Structure 1
């Protein structure tokens, strides 16, 4: 840094801070403003059905993360079958896990504000059971999630068609099956490896899905001081990626919509064996929901702190302020009206800061 620059920093009392901080304080910013919203746009958005917007949001979110993940799986399998030296940096279990993790982050950031960011039938069911999500919306959400995965798998098939056809020809020449964990059908959905029992696969799927369910439920807990709205996509994405890195080699599904939607694509191109192969599909499709209910139930029963949620303004007492006052008086937390007033003011400030 030049002497004149140092003198300038001395004159502006910035000698103890970094260059970037000094620029942020003294450099003028010119931010492009959004153009005014027209009445026509407002009228269109008002007439747009809310349920359709939510369904499109769910389908888009699942599409984004399934498309990212399956593209990586396709690169992994087709590069491994190529006679040319594979680019290992872009073809590994680590890369697959990272692709799914980043895909989930993008899905939450892009489509989460529109639909709530379920992107998994098990999460939708758990929110219905524990958080009062409307039951009438559940079929719409789940069908939208499956459709999003179906379209993502179909697009991956189209984009990787040339490489997949070459791989199919190689396997056919060698007399190897197309539907297997390492076959082209394995790009789109999970298949067990040789020697794996159904009980073993069930336990792996159950505990992997339970882990992911715990991570998701902790992220949507308003009383959790370690997770902010801005970090939720990162935490959930990394939680998902950790399970892929640790257990993808042992056969996991993690999401009913992801597996079922893409399994339909596998069935279109490779026949009904995509569903009947070793009778595994019922594990990949159905275990996700009871496992997530187990994990979220565990969180609700043993880890949830509802009074902290109320204190932070995340939820309200079912009977309003009177019910909260009565509860706190019964447990001896509140002694007089002054404490009630102070508590009410603190909650009001917390809600205001949150908004």
Structure 2
């Protein structure tokens, strides 16, 4: 390893800048830092005809820094759909020769686990209902909610489009033609179920809603438990633990409605399938079931998070552990006239 030499020159102006030069003999490279008395930043210099200049940051690096959380949620949700819709497509289009219902549970579990790994920079929500619950119970900034939700929705749409492109030829054969695209309940060879959920024929609207509400509540309850260091917690094994959570929900509660538990996971691919030619039936199927996985996950995840915080969580970041179980924080301080003067939300 080469040795280091450093020279500092104090300027005569009020800026009081410090300049240090380091040289590494092995590599022949030079770096310089410029800063005030209390801070400095490092820039790499490339020798050019005996002169050196500080290179500005790359433009894309700036954009990536600003949008990293959104990109993280986009690609995490896309990975979720690639594996989830992909396994449904393989099982269905192979006439169950390449797997069965349990294979679907495994595939969705893998999709969640790998999506969580991909989206670690943003907190690995990959679900608008999970983002909402974190806003309500974990002080996640409300201003980020629409950004996260949009990124998740677009990621799900992109994942569904990729799955369709990969299995298009198999879909043509299964449906019976290149221009035939049908929806469950309208055809015995329907393939729209590859992309989004459709309820069993016997399900009532109340049953549909309760099934999605229950699965979503279990999901959020378990996420808070796995992330609670005051409990046993899962630490770095959280993605693996979530794999088993999703596998368990699918294996135990998924048959009746397909356990969407995620607006982005269901609405995004449903919108993609509509754009690909599956028609108005993607909205009308199941007595207009489409709105259930859009609404129930938000209520279910919020309820599941509330249950966990009321009975198990002791952290002070939860509104449940503040005066009036969060009502005071929500309403804000009142002025002398009894009128709400401000809100911390």
**TM-score of the superposition, structure 2-length normalised?**
0.70
What is the aligned counterpart of 1:249 among 243, 246, 255? Answer: 255
How big is the shift at 1:224?
Answer: 2.1
CA shift digits 1:261-286 (9 cap, x unpaired): 10011111211221222110111111
Q: CA 1:272–1:56 in structure 2 vs 1: closer, same or farther (change >3 Å)?
A: same
Q: Which residue of 2 aligns with 1:124?
A: 131
CA contact (8 A) 1:126 1:292 kept: yes
What is the aligned counterpart of 1:292 among 284, 287, 301? Answer: 301
CA shift digits 1:180-226 (9 cap, x unpaired): 16721111011122221111111111111111111111122121234
Q: CA 1:256–1:42 in structure 2 vs 1: closer, same or farther (change >3 Å)?
A: farther
1:61 aligned onto 2:76:
yes
Structure 2 distance, partners of 1:298, 1:190, is 27
How big is the shift at 1:72?
Answer: 0.4
Q: Which residue of 2 aligns with 1:231?
A: 237
CA shift digits 1:96-144 (9 cap, x unpaired): 11111112111112221x1111100001111111111111111010000
1:143 aligned onto 2:150:
yes
CA contact (8 A) 1:190 1:253 kept: yes
CA shift digits 1:287-345 (9 cap, x unpaired): 100100000011111111238x9xxxxxxx9xxxxxxxxxxxxxxxxxxxxxxxxxxxx
- Structure 1 vs Structure 2 CA RMSD: 2.9
1:70 aligned onto 2:85:
yes
CA contact (8 A) 2:226 2:232 kept: no
Task: Give the number of aligned pairs.
Answer: 264
CA contact (8 A) 1:171 1:178 kept: no
1:303 aligned onto 2:312:
yes
Alignment of 1:1-355 (within 5 A): 39=44, 43-44=57-58, 47-48=62-63, 50-80=65-95, 86-87=96-97, 90-112=98-120, 114-169=121-176, 178-180=182-184, 183-228=190-235, 230-251=236-257, 252-268=259-275, 269-277=277-285, 278-306=287-315
CA contact (8 A) 1:180 1:193 kept: no
Structure 2 distance, partners of 1:111, 1:39, is 30
Structure 1 distance, partners of 2:91, 2:43, is 48
Choose between structure 1 and 2: higher strand proportion: 2
Q: CA 1:200–1:172 in structure 2 vs 1: closer, same or farther (change >3 Å)?
A: farther
**TM-score of the superposition, structure 1-length normalised?**
0.68
Any unmatched runs of 5+ in structure 1? Answer: 1-36, 81-85, 310-316, 318-355
CA shift digits 1:56-93 (9 cap, x unpaired): 1000000111110100000111111xxxxx53xx3211
Point out which structure has higher relative CO (alpha carbons under 8 A, 6+ apart): 1
Q: Which residue of 1 aligns with 2:39?
A: none
Structure 2 distance, partners of 1:253, 1:78, is 21
Structure 1 distance, partners of 2:313, 2:88, is 37
Structure 2 distance, partners of 1:143, 1:171, is 32
CA contact (8 A) 2:81 2:156 kept: yes
